[in-house]
Structure 1
Amino acid sequence: MLESSSVLLFIVFVLIFVLLLFTVLIRKNAAAVALIWHEIIREKITNFIMNQSKEQRILDFVLQNAVRGDPCSVVDTIDKYCSQKEWAMNVGNEKGIILDKTVEEVNPSVALELGTYCGYSAVRIAQLLKPGARLLTVEFNPKFAAIAKQMIEFAGVHDKVKILEGPSEEIIPQLKKKYEVDTLDFVFLDHWKDRYTPDTILIQECNLLRKGSVLLADNVIVPGAPEFLNYIRNNPRFQCTNYPSHLEYMKVKDAMEKAVFLG
């Protein structure tokens, strides 16, 4: 009886989101439709059937198909899974190339990532870091952090990466004393979009930027970070560059925003 009730509740849940999808379709918002389908409806159905999270399925695929200790193989394997099997909110290869070039240009000694998720971009950044450099990556969701830890260790870059679990607004003020950060050379923003602006302000208030520090923000078009774009582009302390691209593993238009701190 309880099992039948659970199935019924799940069917009702799916029907509600199908209705939501239909509503968005009427409004012709293709990006929102795609995200609702992949992130809510399809994922929830698959999780229910397999009794396993999408993030665990990504990790399992990497463990079974990638080469241990080879970060490029890990990144390529995640891209293969997410482009052919299930969409996931990694930065993806197209925007990943923009990320790579930015990291190479900055050549950071200390980098900060806000939003670890499964560890895709952490692996991507870490493999480009010079000897002795380090990446601090912040993840609010403990389940994602656990997946990322295994992903980073499998890729062989765990000596360069430290995962910090908790809200970004609590961890950022701790960076100087607790994690011995003087200033940040590079910051990658890829967490909750409504945290982009307050966390950028907080990073400045904590004196974590130096002249030449670079911020790179993902998904500034989809899901979108209009408040952040308005703030950063109208701030005389930053010089901005926009990089048009596409939403990870889709043809939906997206972009990344680079902001160089002028001091």
Structure 2
Amino acid sequence: MYGWRPVLISPPHLLYRPALTGMVVETLPYPESLEDRLHALEDYSERTFKPVDSVLQEVVERAHAHNMPDIHVGNMDGLTLEVIIRMAGYKKASTMVEVGALAGFSGIVIARALGPGGHLHTIEFNPDYAEVARESFRKAGLEDRVTVHIGRASQVLEQLAELGPFDGIFIDADKDNYPVYLDWAEKNIRVGGGVFGDNTFGFGHVWRDPEDFEEQHLRSAISGLRSFNARLADNPNFRATILPTDQGLTMAVRIK
């Protein structure tokens, strides 16, 4: 009864402590800027929940050693994805698809969550990146749970459709083609399965009109992400939401 408890009082950085003589209000140090607050919360989250273990850290270092871009799924987003997949309780021998293997960071997260008997089909366009991903899966002891496919995602997905339906798909690739990958998911994800899309806040710009951007690749990326989010939100066959993580993580479950 006599501990510290946060309460919704204004300003938001106040806490109160019940006391025999009444309520004692104290002011705690509060980062001044929104950016500082977000960084502080991110640091706290990673220190507390430790999303990157030694295996995943090796993947990050391996990617750097091969001069690969540092664009793997966010640390906390990866942990969130793992927890959600585990909570979903996919049956033994569940299968998922990943679009965008890169060095294997998110693939390891997914394969772990699926557990023994589960299988991940991950797609990578760049052959050199695909080989790095294979090495990551071997080092993690997960090579029997993961098949790496090399090629254009839309073409590989057509081939994988013969193996479906699947229990889920994780999309972290070219943003302008998210709607194309959603087309496939709508046909090949079973009822109860999940659709996950990374970076769906469009690096903070998804709320903007795509025509606001001069560069065509930015217009296409934002347009693709907006379409992906809107279609999942409005599709009666799915129940969807977007987690307000650093970059946005859209997730949906097929309900019919």
* TM tier relative to shorter chain: 0.5 to 0.7
Check conservation: 1:106, 1:185, Cα contact below 8 A: no
Distance 2:250 2:143 in 1: 28
Distance 1:257 1:153 in 2: 29
Q: Map 1:40-51 to 2 at 5 A.
A: none
Establish whether residue 75 from structure 1 lines up as the match of residue 56 from structure 2. yes
Give the secondary structure class of the aligned counterpart of 2:76. helix
Check conservation: 1:79, 1:92, Cα contact below 8 A: no
Displacement of 1:119: 0.5
Which of 200, 213, 238 is 2:182 aligned to?
A: 200
Task: State the TM-score, normalized to the length of structure 1.
Answer: 0.63
- Give 5+ residue unaligned stretches, structure 1: 1-29, 31-70, 247-253
2:245: which partner in 1?
245
Structure number with higher helix proportion:
1
Check conservation: 1:104, 1:128, Cα contact below 8 A: yes
Q: 1:166 to 1:107 in 2, by over 3 A?
A: farther
Check conservation: 1:214, 1:261, Cα contact below 8 A: yes
Q: 1:135 to 1:190 in 2, by over 3 A?
A: same
Per-residue deviation, residues 166-192 of structure 1 (Å, max 9, x unmatched): 111111121143xxx231111101111
Which of 164, 167, 171 is 1:189 aligned to?
A: 171
2:20: which partner in 1?
none
Per-residue deviation, residues 236-256 of structure 1 (Å, max 9, x unmatched): 11111211111xxxxxxx210
Which of 67, 79, 86 is 1:104 aligned to?
A: 86
Distance 2:166 2:86 in 1: 15
Which of 134, 137, 140 is 1:149 aligned to?
A: 134
Larger Rg: 2
Q: 1:241 to 1:203 in 2, by over 3 A?
A: closer
2:249: which partner in 1?
256
RMSD over aligned CA atoms reads 2.6
Displacement of 1:149: 0.9
Which of 92, 104, 110 is 1:125 aligned to?
A: 110
Distance 2:129 2:62 in 1: 17
Say which structure, 1 or 2, has more relative contact order (CA 8 Å, 6+ apart).
1
2:101: which partner in 1?
116
Number of positions where the alignment pairs a residue of Structure 1 with one of Structure 2: 181
Q: 1:144 to 1:107 in 2, by over 3 A?
A: farther
Per-residue deviation, residues 179-218 of structure 1 (Å, max 9, x unmatched): xx231111101111111111111233xx412211101110
1:221: which partner in 2?
201
Structure number with higher strand proportion:
2
